[in-house]
Amino acid sequence: MIAFLNTARARLLSGRLLVGRAVALSFGRGVASLLSAAWLILVARRLPLDQFGDVSVALALVIILTALSDLGLQTILAKDVVETGRVRRQVLDAVITRRLMWAVAAAALLVVLYVIATRERNLATPALFSLSIVGAGLYNPVITAYRATGNIRLEVISEVTSRAVVLVGGGLWVLSGGGVIAVAVAYSAVGIAVGVIDYLFVRNKSSVGPSEDPLPSFSLRAAAPFALANTIGAVYQRIDNYLVALLRGTAAAGIYGASYRFQDMNVILPAALGQLALSEASGQDPRTRLSIAKRIAAQSALLAFVPAVIISVFAQPLLVFLFGARFAIAAPIVIVLMVSTLPGAAAMSLSLLAAVTDPRRFAIATGTSLALNVGANLALIPLFSGLGAAVANVLSQTYLVGAFYWVLWRRTAELTAGSVASGTQS
């Protein structure tokens, strides 16, 4: 009985610590999100609707192709931190070198896909936006690794500072008539600068001593499950915006892009919970991850519920107040997207934990969910435009949270069975 009470107390304190860190990280991200929202609102009000749609398409492609250029390297780095309890410089440098090589190829692909969707022939805009992929190739791995050790201060400072610089510097340029070029330059230049600074900081903090743990494999065979899972996850989050532009035009993409800002805002805290779950699982028995996942999924859905209700009730006045009267027609899209944030919050909180626990099944779960998402989008967007994309999001997010839970449940059952069999043989 005493042992049970001690275990329960330890889990409660651990859960409180995790939520506390998540709240702190989410507060920083919330401030950064508000600054980013202010920036997008300024852009939406100053640019014609078609040009704002072009910006939405470019940002969606940046997210998708940043994940594509990762090829699972970021998750391999996070997994190494979870298993060793520290950031190893040799592993960090190997990941960054490979990320930057693939970022160049992804930048070229962005230009091609942007032209296909927008029918624009001016390559300056997509070329400038594509440079942000290089910055992300530095920033994302080092922040993920550092966060996996339980350190969140660097991420908070980086997110808030970078958004503030973009808002002030880029905002003044847009107000003076800089147009889409000003948006692209401000976004990419700040991304590269922050990536370089954070890489140098985390590298200086990394471990350089000898380690008894072997180095992770970076072969395509070892990275394939992580690469597939990461790429699918990013495509899953932004393919709807790209498909709306491709199938219904950039004006429709602009309307949907504004609506999606509310979705992004409501999953800030669930995303933080999921990312910080790695630090809680660091060095612990993998069989405990299912219990961690259950708690985090429930917390995430509850945290998303109240904002979803409030935003749904006031969707139209919020759209008009923030983006202008021409965006009022997006209210039904916002409401449906708020419904999707409930299963989406739970799925997002489970994502990285499921990825490092069972990469193969995680890739299967995300792959089938993406197939469902794309199929539903292709069926519904031609008929209902952005509203169809929002409905497709509800369907696929609901499937995804169940799939992630299945990944963790199956792996836990296998580990438990193996432990019992080992104990019986001994």
Please spell the DSSP secondary structure of 394-411, one letter per residue. HHHHHHHHHHHHHHHHHH
So what's the pLDDT on residue 354?
Answer: 84
- Residue 2 inside a domain? The answer is no
Residue-wise pLDDT for 388-420, tens only, equals 999 999 999 999 999 999 998 888 888 777 665
Q: 8 lies in a domain?
A: no
CA 240 to centroid of chain Cα atoms: 15
Residue-wise DSSP of 193-212: HHHHHHHHHHHHHSB-S--S
User: What integer pLDDT is reported at residue 332 of this predicted model?
Assistant: 96
Give residue 12's pLDDT band: very low, low, confident or very high (50, 70, 90).
Answer: very low
Asked whether residue 69 carries a pLDDT value surpassing 70, the answer given is yes
The whole-number average pLDDT for the span 169-195 is 94
In this predicted structure, which of 19-33, 255-269, 275-289 has the lowest mean pLDDT?
Answer: 275-289
* pLDDT value at residue 419: 62
Position 95 in a domain: yes
What was the pLDDT predicted at 232? Answer: 67
Which residue range(s) make up the domain with 330? 19-207+221-416
Which of 301, 303, 299, 274 minimizes the C-alpha distance to 408?
Answer: 274
In-domain check, residue 422: no
- Which pLDDT band holds residue 2 (cuts at 50, 70, 90)? very low
* 193-251 tens-digit pLDDT: 999 999 999 999 888 766 677 778 877 777 766 666 666 666 767 789 889 989 998 88
- Point out which residues pair with 88 in neighbouring strands: 207
Which residues, other chains included, contact 209 with Cβ-Cβ below 8 Å and sequence gap of 6+? Answer: none
Over residues 176-190, mean pLDDT: 93
The yes-or-no verdict on residue 21 having pLDDT over 50 is yes
- Taking all residues of the chain, what is their mean pLDDT, rounded to a whole number? 84
Within-domain flag for 251: yes
- pLDDT, position 135: 94
Residue 5 lies in a domain: no
Q: What are the pLDDT digits (tens) for 81-99?
A: 878 878 888 889 999 999 9
- The pLDDT of residue 11: 42
Residue 328 lies in a domain: yes
When divided into structural domains, the chain yields a total of 1
Report the alpha-carbon distance of residue 291 to residue 18 in Å, rounded. Answer: 14
**How many residues are there in the chain?**
426
Residue 4: what pLDDT?
37
Name residues whose C-beta falls within 8 Å of residue 127's C-beta, 6 or more positions apart in sequence.
107, 111
Q: Which two tokens stand for residue 209?
A: 């001593």
Q: Is residue 423 part of a domain?
A: no
Q: Which amino acid is at 314?
A: F
For residue 82, the model assigns a pLDDT of 78
Least confident span in 87-91, 186-190, 313-317: 87-91
Task: Average the pLDDT over 25-52 and give the result.
Answer: 85
**What percent of the chain stands above pLDDT 70?**
85
- Cβ(253)–Cβ(61) under 8 Å? no
- Could you count the other beta carbons within 10 Å of the beta carbon of residue 416? 12
Mean pLDDT of 164-174: 94
Q: What is the pLDDT of residue 282?
A: 56
Segment 131-153 shows an average pLDDT of 88
